[in-house]
Structure 1
Amino acid sequence: MLEHGGNLREAQRRYGGDAWIDLSTGINPIGYPAPPLPPDAWRRLPEADPALIDAACAWYGARALLPVAGTQAAIQALPRLRRPSRVTVAAPSYAEHAQHWSQHGHALRQIGYPMLEAAVGSSDVVVVCNPNNPTGERVAPSLLLRWAAELGARGGWLVVDEAFGDTASALSVAAHAGMPGLVVLRSIGKFFGLAGLRLGFVAAETSLLAALADMLGPWTVSGPAQHVALAALRDTDWQAAAQARLARDGARLRGLLAAHGIQASGTPLFHWWPEPHAEEFHEHMARRAIWVRLFPQAARGIRMGLPDRKQDWDRIEHALQEWN
Structure 2
Amino acid sequence: MLEHGGRLRRAAQQYGIPLAEWLDLSTGVSPWPWSLPNIPTNAWMRLPEDSDGLEAAACRYYGAEQLLPLPGSQAAIQLLPKLRRPGRVGVVSPCYAEHAQAWRGAGHSLREVSDQEVSHHLERFDVLVVVNPNNPTGRRIEPGVLLEWHAQLQARSGWLVVDEAFMDCTPEQSLVASCASRPGLVVLRSFGKFFGLAGARLGFAFAEPRLLASLAQLIGPWAVNGPTRWVAQAVLGDFHEHVERRRDLADASRRLAGLLGEHGFAPHGGTSLFQWAVSMQSHALREHLARQGILVRLFDSPASLRFGLPPDEDGWQRLEHGLRTFNQMESLR
Measure, in 1, the Cα distance between the counterparts of 2:231 and 2:138.
Answer: 28
Deviation at 1:119, TM superposition (A): 2.1
Mapping for residues 74-153 of structure 1, pairs under 5 Å? 74-153=76-155
**Matched residue, 1:64:** 66
**Matched residue, 2:49:** 47
Mapping for residues 186-197 of structure 1, pairs under 5 Å? 186-197=189-200
Which stretch shifts more, 91-100 or 108-117? Answer: 108-117
Q: Does 1:28 align with 2:30?
A: yes
Match of 1:268 among 256, 268, 272: 272
Match of 1:230 among 228, 233, 238: 233
Q: Does 1:6 align with 2:11?
A: no
Match of 2:43, SS?
Answer: coil
**Matched residue, 1:199:** 202
Query: Does the 8 A contact of 2:286 with 2:296 survive in 1?
Result: yes
Measure, in 2, the Cα distance between the counterparts of 1:266 and 1:299.
Answer: 15
Deviation string, structure 1 residues 44-102 (Cα, Å, up to 9, x no partner): 00112452112211221222100000000000000000001100011110000001000
Deviation at 1:118, TM superposition (A): 2.1
Deviation at 1:10, TM superposition (A): 0.9
Deviation at 1:152, TM superposition (A): 1.2
Which stretch shifts more, 134-143 or 273-282? Answer: 273-282
Deviation at 1:127, TM superposition (A): 0.3
**Matched residue, 2:330:** none
Match of 1:208 among 192, 208, 211: 211
Amino acid at match of 1:116: V
Match of 1:42, SS?
Answer: helix
Deviation at 1:104, TM superposition (A): 2.0
Deviation string, structure 1 residues 14-45 (Cα, Å, up to 9, x no partner): 00122100000100000112211012111100
Match of 2:298 among 294, 298, 317: 294
Amino acid at match of 2:160: L
Deviation string, structure 1 residues 217-263 (Cα, Å, up to 9, x no partner): 10000000100111110011221221111011011001111111222
Q: Does 1:220 align with 2:194?
A: no
Match of 1:41, SS?
Answer: helix
Query: Does the 8 A contact of 1:130 with 1:171 survive in 2?
Result: no
Tell me the percent identity: 52
- Runs (4 or more) in structure 1 with deviation over 3 Å come to none
Amino acid at match of 1:299: P
Query: Does the 8 A contact of 1:153 with 1:180 survive in 2?
Result: no
Deviation string, structure 1 residues 183-237 (Cα, Å, up to 9, x no partner): 0000101000111010000000000000000111100000001001111100112
Query: Does the 8 A contact of 2:283 with 2:303 survive in 1?
Result: no
**Matched residue, 2:285:** 281
Match of 1:247 among 220, 245, 250: 250
Measure, in 2, the Cα distance between the counterparts of 1:218 and 1:153.
Answer: 33
Which sections of structure 2, spanning at least 5 residues, go unmatched?
A: 328-333
Amino acid at match of 1:209: L
Deviation string, structure 1 residues 270-309 (Cα, Å, up to 9, x no partner): 011112122111101001100000112x232100000111
CA gap of 1:209–1:50, structure 2 versus 1, over 3 A, is: farther
Match of 1:319 among 310, 317, 322: 322
Match of 2:174 among 172, 175, 183: 172
Measure, in 2, the Cα distance between the counterparts of 1:147 and 1:189.
Answer: 28
Which sections of structure 1, spanning at least 5 residues, go unmatched?
A: none
Query: Does the 8 A contact of 1:130 with 1:160 survive in 2?
Result: yes
Measure, in 2, the Cα distance between the counterparts of 1:99 and 1:242.
Answer: 33
Paired residues, what number?
323
Measure, in 2, the Cα distance between the counterparts of 1:240 and 1:16.
Answer: 40
Match of 1:25, SS?
Answer: coil
TM-score by length of 1: 0.98
**RMSD, matched Cα:** 1.0
